[in-house]
Structure 1
Amino acid sequence: MSIFSSLQHVQTLDELILWGGYALLFAIVFAETGLFAGFFLPGDSLLITAGLIAASGKLDISLVIATLCCGAILGDSTGYFIGTRLQRAFFKKNETLFFRKEHVEKTERFYEKHGSKAVFLARFVPVVRSFTTTLAGVAAMPYPVFLFYSVTGASTWVLCFTLIGYFLATIFPDLVDYVHYIILAGIVIILISALRHLSKKT
């Protein structure tokens, strides 16, 4: 009960990170690719916010980066091995909260266009990164090749976004006080991009 009562006071992403610490950072990034939860988990904004918090001294930047990298790489491998076990039938199931055919089709087109490099590139594309690793398993990509692109992609993604937040807060210390507005701006940008994408389809 104490966990739920403490969660009642968590209202923003930075407060959630401070509440859950490194374990929460690992779990969210792992779930985003390993458990196909990229639709509603924060992803990029999580990394930037973690960097902002680390700059304030409340988290260690080295541990933040190591934790996020481990979560991303292990999540990738989990998604890959799910793909090798379930094969193509996995993508033919009925739509649910986590599985929408349009997202799978978008991922397949992305994978076909970029080949094995899709595992690296998809790390920077929301939604697509939630399915690409499983699709790589379905397509029977050799695991050493997959692991190479997974490690390099995850490490580059984590370093880029986490250090952006860290160095911005280091250069502009007062920026940490406006983290809520930064996250809100990021959400607005994502929503605008999504609406533009949908308008092109209609």
Structure 2
Amino acid sequence: MDQIIELFRHLINPKWIIDHGGLYLLVAIIFAETGLFVGFFLPGDSLLFLAGFYGKEICASFHDAPFFIVMLVIALAGVLGNMVGFWFGRKSGPVLFKRKDSLLFKKKHLYQAKEFYDRYGGGAIFFARFLPIIRTFAPIVAGIVGMERKRFMFFNIVGSFSWVFSMMLAGYFLGKKFPGLKDHLELIVIILVLITTLPVILKLVFGKAKIPHDHHIVDESSEITESK
């Protein structure tokens, strides 16, 4: 049990991820956070920012590839992650809404993502990239409600590249401009996490997602599937 707790602590520590896994572990985590519901707790934003800050080290871990190639690989991992989430939503969405809560799955996150999708439509796939937790469940919800594949892929690709490139370039240029910030990275990460999670925190505190009866969601998903 102690080993599992220790692993969990490492997985939410961006600096440890970069030091111990380089680009390979970084790609795996971005893929998991953007497509597998068990990855909602992973630190995508701060991890990408630090990956940009330590751009040279990340490039060195991938055969000294150019920084642009590194960003491209990570962005593609985000695209593939969302594709898996979308496929998973299509295949087993109704089952998820019936699933009981567990340590790695909270049904309320699914409803929050659905509410976000209902409010912003296809654009939710783009905006969700910049919101922790929501970005994990948004593609699953898009699959459940039967979003058209081409439309989904457009927002998926644009969202992934915008998210990855903006976060990594911010870290890269800030690191070049102020190299002394390496001594205060923990504070920077805390501030970044607070900024990126603030919308979700406000949502949880001031507005809880309405959780309808499960059969309503199942019926809705079944009607969409039957109509296709």
1:164–1:193 distance in 2 versus 1, CA, 3 Å: same
1:115 correspondence with 2:121: yes
- Give TM-score scaled by structure 2 length: 0.76
Correspondence list, 1:47-66, <5 A: 47-54=48-55, 57-60=56-59, 61-66=67-72
1:188–1:84 distance in 2 versus 1, CA, 3 Å: closer
Q: Of 150, 159, 169, which residue of structure 1 is paired with 2:165?
A: 159
In 2, distance between residues paired with 1:139 and 1:197? Answer: 22
5+ long unaligned stretches in structure 2: 1-6, 60-66, 209-228
Query: Deviations 1:65-110 (Å, cap 9, x if unpaired)?
Result: 1221011000000001111111322222111223212211111111
In 1, distance between residues paired with 2:121 and 2:168? Answer: 27
1:118–1:173 distance in 2 versus 1, CA, 3 Å: same
In 1, distance between residues paired with 2:122 and 2:200? Answer: 26
In 2, distance between residues paired with 1:191 and 1:77? Answer: 24
* Alignment-derived partner of residue 176 in structure 1: 182
1:192–1:127 distance in 2 versus 1, CA, 3 Å: closer
1:102 correspondence with 2:103: no
Segment of structure 1 superposing worse, 175-184 or 77-86? 175-184
1:145 correspondence with 2:146: no
In 2, distance between residues paired with 1:196 and 1:89? Answer: 29
Q: How far did residue 166 of structure 1 move?
A: 0.6
- For the aligned residue pairs, the C-alpha RMSD in angstroms reads 2.3
Q: Tell me, yes or no, if the aligned pair for 1:32 and 1:38 is still in contact at 8 Å.
A: yes
* Alignment-derived partner of residue 218 in structure 2: none
- Give TM-score scaled by structure 1 length: 0.85
Aligned length: 192
Correspondence list, 1:185-196, <5 A: 185-189=191-195, 196=202
5+ long unaligned stretches in structure 1: 1-6
Query: Deviations 1:94-128 (Å, cap 9, x if unpaired)?
Result: 11223212211111111111111111111111111
1:70 correspondence with 2:69: no
1:76–1:127 distance in 2 versus 1, CA, 3 Å: same
* Alignment-derived partner of residue 32 in structure 1: 33
Alignment identity in percent?
Answer: 36
**Higher relative contact order (Cα pairs below 8 Å, separated by 6+ residues):** 1
In 1, distance between residues paired with 2:168 and 2:131? Answer: 16
- 2:121 alignment partner, SS class: helix
1:193–1:87 distance in 2 versus 1, CA, 3 Å: closer
- 2:126 alignment partner, SS class: helix
Q: How far did residue 197 of structure 1 move?
A: 4.6
